Amino acid sequence: MKRPIEDEESSCASAEPTESKQAKLASDSNNDAAVAATGNTRNCTINRRRGDVKKAILMLMYSGSGYYGMQRNTGFDTIEGALFDSLLAGGHITEEEYLSPGKLQFQRASKTDKGVSALAQVVSMKLNLSDADSLKADVNSRLPTQIRLLDVFRTTKNFNCKARVNHREYAYICPSYAFASKSRPIDITYRIDSTQLELLRSCLSRYKGTKNYYNFTSGRPPGDASCNRYIIDFTVGEPFEYRDAEFVELRVRGQSFMLHQIRKMVGLAIAIVKGYCRLEAMDAVFTYKRMDVPKAPGLGLLLNKINYGAYNEKYAAELGYSTVDWDRFEAERSEFKSSHILPEIYRGETDNRSMLEWLRTLTMHSYDFDRQDGPPTVFKQQQQQSEQPKQFEKDSQSEAASSEPNSAGALNTGS
């Protein structure tokens, strides 16, 4: 149950602060004198909120490791939760606003799932911007080092950071061995060749344009118009070395994305390059038949940029507002990627074998249509050495019985 918030006048005169709240606020040099004089930390919070309260844009970057996504969720550590804790501790928002973000007109540009990082995230809310530089410094001093506030500045009073997005860019960073032929033993010393890169680029290019992605999410019926998504481009850069491993970075730009969409787009591309199904599956998956599409691991998925081109041109240029321009922070973002994000991806691949373990599940997929348009078929494999995980057995509907290509261009493997 939410704790009721008393009237400002009476609460400032009578509320007794808790020891933990008083300790947090006492650490702020701007509040030391008031705390010592009144012993009332809530008085300091209210005073800090008076003044030049305007709609603000906050530009953020973070490593999602150890967090249960972006959105606040009671009982779980989230990025928004850490941000709101820091704003409250610094006296930049009241307890009532902390409990009811709608009073701040709070909005996020994009959600990110558990463990997903971001080199570009935006939230908008009402804040006292009389000293924006001090606010930024104070919030950063309270945030964990894996969450950084890059900038905070005024915007138009009706700005909505989600609605104003022109497009979003995600990156997916994975070890090169993810694309090795299924017949080849793989380890961290593997290096991708030009033939595989060209096949990968051919797969990714077929995602461009407006298509229906109901096969790339869950809980949507075939042909659901709400699953139409416009992909601007999907590319892969040149391989790069990190420590003793080689990685590739895939980048996809689109107006918006659905749950699991990018991970399934990557998963199908990997399955094709490795030889589990043919390139023609890229066409079959967009027909109005349910198809079994593997979902790549969440490790390596990264919100890379959020574009506000129209807003920057119309409001920043004409009215004198600051632009939401990530290039201004390219050095900081690059350093943060190297020091916080790549180490987590490397650790996940070497210690937890995230991609390697997932690759072993690719033989469990049929890459075929379900003729009844029900849940995607997952083939139950014959076991020779070990029992398959229970979740795959539970969902199994048929045995892999043929090595002939199926209607989606897949090559079923029964071993």
**Alpha helix positions (H), 50-124:** 79-89, 95-99
- 57 within 8 A of 324, measured Cβ to Cβ: yes
Query: Helix or strand or coil: residue 57?
Result: strand
Active site residue 7: no
276 assigned binding-site residue? no
- Tell me which residue of 135, 291, 308 sits closest to 216, measured CA to CA: 291
Give the Cα separation of 62 and 234 in Å (integer).
23
Rounded to whole angstroms, what are the CA distances from 402 to 192, 243, 290, 293, 411? 30, 42, 20, 19, 8
Q: Give me the residue label for tokens 């990557």.
A: 266
Q: Say how far apart CA 158 and CA 134 lie, in whole Å.
A: 25
Residue with tokens 């809310």: 125
Q: Which of 52, 77, 85, 113 is catalytic?
A: 113
Q: Regarding beta strands 301-307 and 378-380, do their DSSP bridges make them parallel or antiparallel, or are they unpaired?
A: unpaired
Q: Furthest-apart CA pair in the chain: how many Å?
A: 82
Q: How far apart are CA 118 and CA 170, in angstroms?
A: 9
Annotated binding-site members for substrate: 170
User: Catalytic site residues?
Assistant: 113
Annotated binding site: 170
